[in-house]
Amino acid sequence: MKEDLITISPIDGSEFVRRPYASESQIEQTLQRAKTAQKAWAARPLSERLALVGRAVEHFVQNKATIAEAITRQMGRPLRYTAGEVDGFASRARHMMAIAEDALKLVQVAPQEGFTRFISREPVGVVLTIAPWNYPLLTAVNSIVPALLAGNAVILKHSDQTPLCAELIHQAFVQAELPEGVFQYLHVDHERVRRLIHANEIGFVCFTGSVGGGRIVEEAAAGRFIGVGLELGGNDPAYVRSDANIDYAVETLVDGAFFNSGQSCCGIQRIYVAEPLYKDFIERAVALTNQYVLGNPLDAQTTLGPVVRTAAADGVRAVIAEALSKGARNLIDESQFGLSRAGTPYVAPGVFVDVDHGMTLMNDECFGPVVGIMPVSGDEQAIELMNDSPYGLTASVFTSDEDAALSIGRRVETGTFFMNRCDYLDPALAWTGVKNTGRGVTLSAIGYEHLTRPKSFHLKTRL
């Protein structure tokens, strides 16, 4: 068993972070602190919890430049974009703060003479948040802030690729003078994650990651009768109808496919284009893709950084090779992206045509800058192909007809359906999915329901 967490920067393959994994005694102490602190934290008025969490968010934002560079060095997203994730963290936190009072208020039932009856929303206790590296702040904030506001204590286990994110979030809460034990983090390996999930102190698990990882979390929690939220990724489709604004569709979907080097659960991997627009769409998508600059993510001109590690790049290249072997064509010349070479984490963007659903590219998640594009005869074929996936996180339609978009959206199997946008998360709406994307909800008022439990009060006031 490894004793140290080691983070290798994808920028140059150097060791960037080394931390000792938490020992069994440290884990036990963390659990006990959380359990003890949670009772007092839940007893505080919501107004006090809001003030402390809000103060922590402000401290966090003030450290934006340091956090942005830490993200870039740990997982490779271009520095020109990473500060935006700090802003996104604050925006989501503030929204969940704004709706907390209403979301956590007592549920009133019809009055009945001689009785007082209502349902309260009680904290689940200690929430374990297991966060991934691809959006290390945005995935974490989805559960951390509402869990704390609901009166829970939180233990954050971040990816070994982005451990500094856990430390920097914790630092902001310390600066805000959050009571000790209410928010903590642990650097632990997979076996100790199972130990945490087994612990009686844990009352809920929020996991974002792979389908395989989600199965492990479910298995670890089996028999504990606690809630488990699983957001497990996607293979997200977009449909460009014949009435779409093609310039806008191309610009939006190319960005949706390649932002963060394609390492987004809700990034676009499959595009279906109405036949009359197909040729034009392809030409414009290729031209725009060729404008990307693959390079060192610390350089200001870089718009496409490396994927997270060389092993991940090898997996992307294997998906590309399989598609090509089955007849697909890549319309992007890899030689125009000089850093894209085997044995490195740098991968050129790829726009693939002559694809079908017998290819991994079109039927499974591929965390890399690749997209497959197919022509379709119309709405019926597009809906059929969009639903032909084991995942269901988001789906998009590009059209000028809102009624058509609503009609299509009602038939597409997905957690979020977009018209004229993609690769976006609105904190006012429930973030959820279907099929292998997992189960549970974060964000929105519904997200609070998953981080609390209902408690009914039935008081007979007249004897």
User: What amino acid occupies position 386?
Assistant: M
Element (H, E) at 82: helix 79-98
User: Is 28 an active-site residue?
Assistant: no
Q: Are 130 and 193 in contact (CB under 8 A)?
A: yes
One digit per residue, the tens of pLDDT, for the chain of length 463 reads: 678 999 999 999 999 999 999 999 999 999 999 999 999 999 999 999 999 999 999 999 999 999 999 999 999 999 999 999 999 999 999 999 999 999 999 999 999 999 999 999 999 999 999 999 999 999 999 999 999 999 999 999 999 999 999 999 999 999 999 999 999 999 999 999 999 999 999 999 999 999 999 999 999 999 999 999 999 989 999 999 999 999 999 999 999 999 999 999 999 999 999 999 999 999 999 999 999 999 999 999 999 999 999 999 999 999 999 999 999 999 999 999 999 999 999 999 999 999 999 999 999 999 999 999 999 999 999 999 999 999 999 999 999 999 999 999 999 999 999 999 999 999 999 999 999 999 999 999 999 999 999 999 999 999 9
Distance of CA 337 to the CA centre of its chain: 28
CATH architecture of 4-232+437-460: 3-Layer(aba) Sandwich (3.40)
CB contact at 8 A, 345 and 10 = yes
CA distance 379 to 274: 8
d(Cα 157, Cα 73) in Å, to the nearest integer? 19
Query: Per the CATH hierarchy, to which homologous superfamily does domain 236-426 belong?
Result: Aldehyde Dehydrogenase; Chain A, domain 2 (3.40.309.10)
Task: Report pLDDT for 1.
Answer: 60
Domain ranges of the chain: 4-232+437-460, 236-426
Q: Pick the closest to residue 50 from 118, 102, 119 (CA basis).
A: 102
Give the whole-angstrom CA distance, residue 127 versus residue 175.
Answer: 21
Distance between CA atoms of residues 144 and 402, nearest Å: 35
Q: Which residues lie below 8 Å from residue 189, measured CB to CB, with a gap of 6+?
A: 1, 2, 5, 21
pLDDT of residue 290: 98
pLDDT for res 2: 78
Task: Please report how the helices 246-258 and 275-289 are oriented relative to each other, as an axis angle in degrees rounded to 10.
Answer: 50
| Active-site position among 177, 231, 365, 380 | 231
Residue 109: the pLDDT is 96
CA distance 119 to 163: 39
Contact 280, 250 (CB under 8 A): no
User: Looking at the DSSP assignment, which residues form a beta bridge with residue 204?
Assistant: 127, 227
C-alpha span between 63 and 42 (Å, rounded) = 28
Give every CB contact of residue 225 below 8 A, 6+ residues apart in sequence.
none
User: How far is Cα 213 from Cα 402, in angstroms, rounded to an integer?
Assistant: 38
DSSP class of residue 442 equals: B
- Give the side-chain half-sphere CA count within 13 A for 417: 18
Q: What is the number of alpha carbons within 13 Å of residue 79 lying toward its C-beta?
A: 15
